[in-house]
């Protein structure tokens, strides 16, 4: 007697309608088999952080030479455990372990899975290590790529990104875009401690002008002392009565912009102010979220961040993102 065929997984009730109507095999695999364990991992990270009252050095450093905190290690462990349970994940790398490694699935080897349903995951388990000791909101960044690797591919192969926000609540902003020419989908979910998921907003979208209130987030503000252009930009924000909202964490600053519907984040790069953001683990996932929310994200040269492929795990860069008209004005002031 023939073995029974496995039944397809039902689609989660928290998905927006755009992802439930005749999904492709890739989208169906992503939404039914990969996103649920990742959301569960983000919920567990939130719980772990709320119980980690003492933030201290772990006595180790990652491959970039950055000292690791005990919370960095804890978040990395939770994410790795979740990925090991999902046979669709062929490889994974993180900011704490920046080398693509094969994920072994003894019970269901990934090579037995269709190429349309295989993914590579690149993640930053804890975005905001410099502010977590002060009990500020921090985040987890996840980029999901089609196929067995994220390296050497066009950024359009990044099909999904997640921004886990660990604050008074644990929430996550999810962006999905299968085809480069599409706008994509951006939505926000609430993650409860018992593992359940609530819909906060099925259509996260930046506002169009005119704006009731304008916000700006100036990273690396010290560089304004050396750059007349950056100093002029900051001065123009003040003159035009923008509201300052900058906490030093990429995920919460992005979350504020998306929640308010307006804002511009500026992270300039110069010879005296080297790029710190990793393209694979921070810049590209953020770029996908911003574009799917109707905004614009450019690099330290004013170019669209989702144009240049990633060839190595340690590639770094700057980023400017927010409402399209605001980003274009920043590019004009900084680059002429």
Distances (CA, A) of 219 to 120, 171, 320: 30, 23, 10
**Domain 215-335, CATH 3.40.50.300 — does that match?**
no
CA distance 321 to 51: 33
Domain boundaries, the chain: 17-201, 215-335
316: how many CB neighbours lie within 10 A of its CB?
Answer: 17
Q: Over the Cα atoms of the chain, what is R_g?
A: 20
CA distance 219 to 244: 11
**CATH, domain range 17-201:** 3.30.540.10
- Nearest partner of 140 among 51, 54, 67, 45, judged by Cα: 45
Residue carrying the six token digits 């927010």: 322
CA distance 199 to 191: 9
Distances (CA, A) of 302 to 176, 305, 331: 24, 9, 6
pLDDT the model gives residue 2: 46
pLDDT the model gives residue 67: 61
pLDDT the model gives residue 272: 79
pLDDT the model gives residue 110: 55
The helix/strand/coil state of 83 is: helix
Phi, psi (5° rounding) for residue 123?
Answer: -145, 155
Residue carrying the six token digits 């308010």: 260
CA distance 162 to 36: 12
Q: Are strands 243-244 and 215-218 parallel, antiparallel or unpaired?
A: parallel
pLDDT the model gives residue 155: 95
Q: What is the pLDDT along the chain (336 residues), one digit of tens a residue?
A: 444 444 567 899 999 999 999 999 999 999 999 999 999 999 999 999 999 887 876 555 555 556 678 899 999 999 999 999 999 999 999 999 999 999 987 666 555 677 888 999 999 999 998 899 999 999 999 999 999 999 999 999 999 999 999 999 999 999 999 999 999 999 999 999 999 999 999 999 999 999 999 999 999 999 999 999 999 999 999 999 999 999 999 999 999 999 999 999 999 988 877 888 999 999 999 999 999 999 999 999 999 999 999 999 999 999 999 999 999 999 999 998
CATH fold match for the domains 17-201 and 215-335: no
* DSSP state for residue 202 in the 8-state scheme: S
pLDDT the model gives residue 68: 75
Kindly state the greatest CA–CA separation across the chain: 78
């Amino acid at each position: 007697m023939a073995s029974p065929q496995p039944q397809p997984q039902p689609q989660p009730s928290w998905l927006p309608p755009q992802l439930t109507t005749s999904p492709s095999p890739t989208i169906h695999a992503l939404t039914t088999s990969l996103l649920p364990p990742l959301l569960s991992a983000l919920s567990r990270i939130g719980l772990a952080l709320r119980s980690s009252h003492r933030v201290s050095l772990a006595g180790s450093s990652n491959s970039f030479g950055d000292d690791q905190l005990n919370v960095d290690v804890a978040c990395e462990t939770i994410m790795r455990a979740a990925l090991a349970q999902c046979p669709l994940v062929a490889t994974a790398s993180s900011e704490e372990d920046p080398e693509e490694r094969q994920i072994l699935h003894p019970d269901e080897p990934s090579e037995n899975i269709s190429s349309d349903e295989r993914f590579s995951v690149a993640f930053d388990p804890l975005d905001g290590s410099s502010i977590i000791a002060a009990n500020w909101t921090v985040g987890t960044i996840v980029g999901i790529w089609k196929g067995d690797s994220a390296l050497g591919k066009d950024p359009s192969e990044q099909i999904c990104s997640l921004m886990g926000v660990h604050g008074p609540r644990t929430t996550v902003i999810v962006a999905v875009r299968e085809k480069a020419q599409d706008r994509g989908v951006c939505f926000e979910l609430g993650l409860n401690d018992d593992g359940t998921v609530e819909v906060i907003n099925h259509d996260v979208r930046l506002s169009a002008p005119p704006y009731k209130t304008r916000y700006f987030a100036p990273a690396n503000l010290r560089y304004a002392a050396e750059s007349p252009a950056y100093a002029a930009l900051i001065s123009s924000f003040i003159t035009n009565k923008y509201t300052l909202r900058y906490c030093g964490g990429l995920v919460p600053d992005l979350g504020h912009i998306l929640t308010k519907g307006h804002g511009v984040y500026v992270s300039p790069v110069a010879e005296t102010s080297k790029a710190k953001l990793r393209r694979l683990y921070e810049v590209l996932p953020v770029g996908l979220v911003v574009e799917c929310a109707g905004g614009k994200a450019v690099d330290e040269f004013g170019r669209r961040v989702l144009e240049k492929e990633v060839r190595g795990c340690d590639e770094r860069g700057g980023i400017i993102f927010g409402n399209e008209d605001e980003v274009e004005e920043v590019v004009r002031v900084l680059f002429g």
